[in-house]
């Protein structure tokens, strides 16, 4: 019954968060995080979530990322990757250097500083994409740039963790072969996704293979989705999302990355079925029906559990918090500044985004979640590399950065859309950082 009690509390908080978000015009994610933190510090929710709640939370983030990928256009995503290499590179390198330098300054321990740098490297893209959706900005080119950069960032972060964690923990099994293995798995996973997109999923294709072997057209994913005149289409696509998520996990990625890729390659064309249950068959919009179901479970009642559970990671011990105030302020301000500047400048000068898009990308790269907590667990729980002060510094910094994401996106939205104007003077000339409306 404990699990049911905890879920009841969490869902009550989700409902309350949606209510407060509607009243204050802020994203519900901010309230999800605050509610989780408040409940754990009041002793209502446990510091260590039960296996049921953790599993429910994992399903939630998978559903969220699938829903976001489901809305994305595949071709625009591919073009976004070509523009995002610089954002991923500089947007990860700058926070790593900043976190390493500040941590080494305070604690004079290279291994500890290395773990802090790794924890502050990867972006919590799920938080950003949900925040963008709440502001109706998820379909913009900047949102695609954030998503593609974050995926490249996650790949680089996984490689960095595989290389640097053994150094920090004192293990000696690091080798060129193990590094190549990590890179090879990343390449293999994306090759697998391409094969799904090109050969397995399509019921029809421009490839000559589909014309030479017409029977291939009878085994595409459209036929899987359209079983029972498409009445089970929501179950079918969610099953696809879970399967590809598990495959992504086996390749070394967070399951959410696999879920996003699954949503990306499931096209609207696959839902064009005919309802034969009527005397005069009529076209049924199964795509819209399925999206409504997916959006409901992802953003209304299952997905939010992930963010509430994420908020419970912040357990406020007053005596420790007082000790780490200087470290928290220094690290939070440094990551906030260098993350925005590095990602925004990279977006402007390597991705050729406009200034208003570049700044939104910089703001969108602020969040820290899954990989950050994995690194903290490795460094603090499993290997005792991080001190208690360092652990709390990272936890509070991650929380502050996560809270900054929905707030900063909301504040920048008027400048992004052009309803407000912001100009700066450089070299005696005025440069507009907000969208120009003509």
| pLDDT at position 242 | 93
CA pair distance 383, 275, nearest whole angstrom? 58
CATH of the domain at 238: 1.20.1530.20
Residues 346/134, Cβ–Cβ less than 8 Å: no
| pLDDT at position 206 | 61
Instruction: List, for residues 63-93, the tens digit of each pLDDT value.
Output: 988 887 887 777 777 777 778 888 888 988 9
| pLDDT at position 13 | 96
Residue 438 in any domain: the answer is no
Domains of the chain: total: 1
**Strands, E, within 171-256: which ranges?**
none
Residue 186 in any domain: the answer is yes
pLDDT band (50, 70, 90) for residue 377: confident
CA pair distance 132, 71, nearest whole angstrom? 13
Q: Which residues pair with 285 in a beta bridge?
A: 272
Residue 394 in any domain: the answer is yes
- Residue-level length of the chain: 438
Average pLDDT, the chain: 82
Residues 30/406, Cβ–Cβ less than 8 Å: yes
Instruction: List, for residues 238-297, the tens digit of each pLDDT value.
Output: 999 999 999 988 887 778 778 888 888 888 777 765 544 444 444 457 888 888 899 899
What residue numbers bound the domain in which 150 lies?
2-432
Residue 98 in any domain: the answer is yes
* CA atoms 189, 194, 197, 198: torsion sign: negative
Residue 390 in any domain: the answer is yes
% of the chain at pLDDT higher than 70: 83
Would you call 48 helix, strand, or coil by DSSP?
coil
pLDDT band (50, 70, 90) for residue 172: very low
| Rounded average pLDDT over 389-416 | 90
Residue 280 in any domain: the answer is yes
For residue 239, give Cα distances in angstroms to 235, 254, 255, 392.
6, 17, 13, 38
Helix axes 28-42, 125-134, angle to 10 degrees: 130
| Rounded average pLDDT over 98-121 | 92
Compute CA 120 distance to the chain's CA centroid, rounded to the nearest angstrom: 14
| pLDDT at position 141 | 87
Query: pTM, whole model, 2 decimals?
Result: 0.70
CA pair distance 311, 39, nearest whole angstrom? 9
CA pair distance 197, 263, nearest whole angstrom? 11
Residue 437 in any domain: the answer is no
| pLDDT at position 166 | 66
Q: How many CB atoms lie within 10 A of CB 12?
A: 12
Residue 196 in any domain: the answer is yes
- Name the percent of the chain in helix, strand, coil, to the closest 5: 75, 5, 20
């Amino acid at each position: 019954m404990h699990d049911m009690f905890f879920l009841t509390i969490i869902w009550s908080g989700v409902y309350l968060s949606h209510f407060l978000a509607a009243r204050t015009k802020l994203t519900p994610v901010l309230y999800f995080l605050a509610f989780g933190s408040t409940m754990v510090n009041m002793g209502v929710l446990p510091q260590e979530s039960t296996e049921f709640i953790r599993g429910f939370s994992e399903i939630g983030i998978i559903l969220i990322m699938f829903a976001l990928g489901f809305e994305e256009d595949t071709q625009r995503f591919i073009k976004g990757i070509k523009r995002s290499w610089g954002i991923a590179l500089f947007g990860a390198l700058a926070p790593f250097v900043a976190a390493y330098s500040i941590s080494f300054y305070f604690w004079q321990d290279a291994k500890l500083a290395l773990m802090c740098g790794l924890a502050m490297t990867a972006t919590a893209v799920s938080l950003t994409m949900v925040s963008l959706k709440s502001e109706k900005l998820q379909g913009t080119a900047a949102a695609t740039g954030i998503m593609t950069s974050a995926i490249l960032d996650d790949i680089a972060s996984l490689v960095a963790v595989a290389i640097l964690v053994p150094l920090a923990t004192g293990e000696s099994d690091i080798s060129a072969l193990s590094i190549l293995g990590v890179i090879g798995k990343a390449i293999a996973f994306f090759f697998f996704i391409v094969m799904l997109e090109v050969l397995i999923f399509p019921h029809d294709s421009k490839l000559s293979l589909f014309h030479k072997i017409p029977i291939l057209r009878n085994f595409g994913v459209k036929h899987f989705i359209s079983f029972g005149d498409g009445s089970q289409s929501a179950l079918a696509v969610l099953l696809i999302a879970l399967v590809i998520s598990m495959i992504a996990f086996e390749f070394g990625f967070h399951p959410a990355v696999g879920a996003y890729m699954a949503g990306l390659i499931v096209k609207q064309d696959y839902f064009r079925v005919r309802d034969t249950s009527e005397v005069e068959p009529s076209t049924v919009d199964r795509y819209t029906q399925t999206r409504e179901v997916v959006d409901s479970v992802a953003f209304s009642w299952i997905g939010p559990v992930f963010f509430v559970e994420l908020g419970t990671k912040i357990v406020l011990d007053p005596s420790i918090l007082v000790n780490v105030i200087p470290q928290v302020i220094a690290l939070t301000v440094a990551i906030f500044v260098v993350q925005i500047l590095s990602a925004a400048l990279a977006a402007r000068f390597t991705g050729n985004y406009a200034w208003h898009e570049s700044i939104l990308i910089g703001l969108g790269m602020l969040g820290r979640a899954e990989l950050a907590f994995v690194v903290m667990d490795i460094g603090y729980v499993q290997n005792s590399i991080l001190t208690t002060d360092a652990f709390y510094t990272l936890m509070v910094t991650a929380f502050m950065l996560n809270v900054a994401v929905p707030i900063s996106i909301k504040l920048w939205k008027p400048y992004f859309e052009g309803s407000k104007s912001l100009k700066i003077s450089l070299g005696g000339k005025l440069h507009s950082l907000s969208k120009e409306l003509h």
